[in-house]
Amino acid sequence: MTDAGGVIADRADRAPVLASRTVYAGLVWDVRRDEVDLGHEVVTRDVVAHPGAVGVLAMDEQGRIALIQQYRHPVGMRLWEIPAGLLDVAGEDPALAAARELAEEADLVAEQWAVLTDYFTSPGFASESIRLYVARGLSVVPESERHERTGEERDMPLRWVPLDEAHAAVLAGRLHNPHTVIAVLAAVALRADGWAGLRPADAPWPERVVLAD
């Protein structure tokens, strides 16, 4: 089937779900088994039901971005990443969640916020939707007000990296975190256009699937 043309954009078109049950209830996400009516046939699909997340490309006046190094157990590596976190606080605005994660993970606050881009991490099996922000006008959280980190976040160094250096690292295959890769590539493209493509921090996000508790 060939599309007739027009503005290229993904569109919502959810197929009817004839039956659904949770086959695994996890600490952060569940696995749901759906019977889906595609019109020409009914198929069974497992879905990782994920609450979504936000990430922050924090950029200073010198054009450097803040990267933190975090241990990621599923891949057994310490990855350099932009600050990011789950949308796991009920009713929390995504922009406020991004500001919270930036303060908790990088000890930074920002005066200027904008949407960098939105994407699905693995739409073939997961409902996880990500919004990436760019944050500027940075200042440091006072030491007495800093978040007490635990788990993998307890030992998490921060490095300021020029955007062009991060871009080169992405293209060379030295950075692997998807939030970071996408944020860096988007930032380089938007910078070349004078940041004209940035959206306001409160831009609509209809693609995000808000999951039931």
User: What positions carry a catalytic annotation?
Assistant: 153
- Residue carrying the six token digits 């979504």: 52
Query: Tell me, what DSSP letter sits at residue 63?
Result: S
Q: Is residue 55 a contact partner of residue 84, using CB atoms and an 8 Å limit? A: yes
> In the structure encoding, which two tokens stand for residue 5, read together?
């043309």
Question: How crowded is residue 195: how many other Cβ atoms within 10 Å of its Cβ?
Answer: 13
Residue type for position 10: D
Residue type for position 126: A
- Residue carrying the six token digits 């996408």: 182
Rounded CA gap, 101 and 19, in Å? 36
Among 35, 38, 30, which Cα is nearest to 13's? Answer: 38
Rounded CA gap, 183 and 82, in Å? 8
Among 55, 75, 52, 54, which Cα is nearest to 67's? Answer: 55
Chain length of the chain: 213
Q: Is residue 58 a contact partner of residue 99, using CB atoms and an 8 Å limit? A: no
